[in-house]
Amino acid sequence: MRQFWRLMLRNPGGLIGLVILTIAIAIAVFGPLLFPTSPWRMVQRPFLPPFTLSGLPLGTDALGRDVMAGIIYGARVSLLVGLVSTLAALAIGVPVGAAAGYFGGRIGDALMRFTEFFQTVPSFALAIVLVAVLQPSIVSIVIAIAIVSWPPVARLVRGEVLSLRTREYVQAAIVTGQTNSWIIWREILPNALSPVIVLASLMVATAILLESSLSFLGLGDPNLMSWGYMVGAGRTVIRQAWWITVFPGIAILISVLALNLIGEGLNDALNPRLGKNGR
Amino acid sequence: MLAFIAQRIGKAVIVLLAIVVLNFFLIRMAPGDPALVMAGEAGAGDQIFLTQLREKFGLDKPLPVQLFLYVKGIVSFDLGYSFRQQMPVSKLILDRLPATLLLTGTAFAISLAFGVLFGTLAARRAGSWTDTAITVLALIFYATPLFWVALMAILLFSVAMDWLPSFGYETVGANYTGLAHVLDVGAHLIMPATTIGLFFMATYARMTRASMLEVKRLDFVKTARAKGLRDAVIQRRHVLRNALLPVVTLAGLQAGTLVGGAVLTETVFAWPGIGRLMYEALLQRDYNLLLGVFVVCSAMVLAFNLITDLIYRSVDPRIEFAA
């Protein structure tokens, strides 16, 4: 564990990502305390340019709402959706992959065909259809993102389980008559954890991008301020007021970039044998 | 070879059928009684009309029969009727399909060409400033939301510099012909295609770089060097050619993402393709049209996967054509 942190801290990209993510989480958790006014409330005249009034550093949008407050409240939605939908995707992908790898044979084949099917379907189009059919809400968005993003988890876990299953300690557990579920959960999966963690951190980034794209198209939760929604709302007035679209987009870019950097840092730290970038 | 292609097509057809079945249940999950929705959209709602509608679309039959009718319809390319647009869904989609194929095709060509080029440059000068710049840029474009890149491009090249048109497929009312028309469409195409292309360019550049660095260390490269081949030849014929395999695989896997990118960019640039059509269907909650576009998108992805599969096998002669 200590060695893991040392490797992680030695990776400048991963470190930067970690710092940015910590700040983003702090903003999501404590920001609304500093900005108690609802991001939906009109606080000034519409189209107030940024850096003109000290209380409204990023200006106001077409309805006179504070862009800064929107970004702060949006951080909650983005990070929450990113995290929860990734957990949900893991909850589907890990059992499917583990079962496919451990039992193999017909069950494994059937499960992998099922996985490939979901990997073939165009994911963003499926997400759009799912949210539209289920009606936009934070729950339907999480469900849609989870449904389109679990297949890589299943494939990865299956591969890991396939190779771990033949190890001696697993064979020993089988001989001593442990139950299948005990062997999978206690013997095999803990050893398959590190690649799954790397993948999960990258999935959070993808989930944030997906959520913002859905909100941009008007499929966001109508009761929650989100970055994608802000960009979408500012799109029609981009010629008059660039700041309404520019700042939320930067917020998305920075968070996703931070998570990708963390993912790469984790990859280098957890798979040190690969060496840095394969060099 | 033929057996292999036949087997692949057979597999694709099965997947497509599964998607159609999924689609059928998604339509049934859509809010509201389909007959009521249709009646509402047609502007009448009395009981007789509802019964007629149910009979006409087989909604009074048991679910398996409905499913059979639906699949039968799709096999003959009948994707239902869009009451909002007063047109068959298949006609709406066919009208818009060429624009999307042009956009995604151009985007794919741009991203693959420049992605491989930048990836190769970075790998050949690993550790240099060129490498760092390419790696950092790729990382940033990989993390940028597509729709936002599209808007920033409009802000920069249309609003600030006034170089390129910000929306549409061609200049409305200009009625250009011949070369002027091609140039006009091209000017409209540059921004949307590059927007989609940038994300994939970043992906391919990263993949090419990592893959080339990996191949470089293999024994056959050492052998080639020991034979005294020139570095350029080794890089091109030995390293790049082998390093491209995972890139082709990735390109095939990302066909679906390409379609998703088309939905976002076509929406921003008002490009008259099926992505834009999907957005319009979404705004109007036109579920028949929405799911019709979804089926066609899936079919496009399957076709694309098939093509990359064939390319893959021609790039890598080690893979056998046997089924």
Tell me the per-residue pLDDT of A76-104, one tens digit each, with 9 for 90 and over.
Answer: 999 999 999 999 999 999 999 999 999 98
Q: Which of B126, B151, B297 sits opposite A279 (nearest CB)?
A: B126
Q: What's chain A's Rg over C-alpha atoms?
A: 22
* A134–chain B nearest CA distance, Å: 7
Q: Which of B15, B154, B259 sits opposite A122 (nearest CB)?
A: B259
Strand intervals (E) in chain A: none
Quick check: A9 pLDDT over 80? no
Q: What is the pTM of this model?
A: 0.89
Tell me the per-residue pLDDT of A24-66, one tens digit each, with 9 for 90 and over.
Answer: 999 988 888 887 778 888 888 888 888 887 778 888 888 888 8
Question: Distance between the two ends of chain A, CA-based, in angstroms?
Answer: 25
Tell me the per-residue pLDDT of B105-138, one tens digit each, with 9 for 90 and over.
Answer: 999 999 999 999 999 999 988 888 999 999 999 9
Contact by Cβ (8 Å): B112, B251:
yes
Quick check: B65 pLDDT over 90? no
Residues 225-264 of A with CB under 8 A from B: 228, 231-232, 235, 238-239, 242, 245-246, 249, 252-253, 256-257, 260-261
**Highest mean predicted confidence (pLDDT) among A181-190, B57-66, B270-279:** B270-279
CA–CA separation, B209 and B120 (whole Å): 6
Lowest mean pLDDT of A46-60, B185-199, B289-303, name the range.
A46-60
Q: What is the pLDDT of residue A277?
A: 43
Residues of A in contact with B213 (CB under 8 A): 277-279
Burial of B72 (0-12, 13-18, 19+ CB in 10 A): exposed
B256 or A246, which is more confident?
Answer: A246
Closest-CA residue in chain B for A240?
B159
Is the ipTM above a cut-off of 0.85? yes
Closest-CA residue in chain A for B207?
A277
Q: Which of B26, B155, B256 sits opposite A122 (nearest CB)?
A: B256
CB distance B143–A205 less than 8 Å?
A: yes
3-state secondary structure of B166: coil
Buried b (16+ CB within 10 A) or exposed e, B136-162: ebbbebbbbbbbbbbbbbbbebbeeee
Averaged pLDDT score across all residues of chain B: 85
* A279–chain B nearest CA distance, Å: 6
Question: Distance between the two ends of chain B, CA-based, in angstroms?
Answer: 8
Closest-CA residue in chain A for B211?
A278
> CB count, 10 Å around CB of B309?
18
Q: What is the pLDDT of residue B120?
A: 92
CB distance B155–A124 less than 8 Å?
A: no
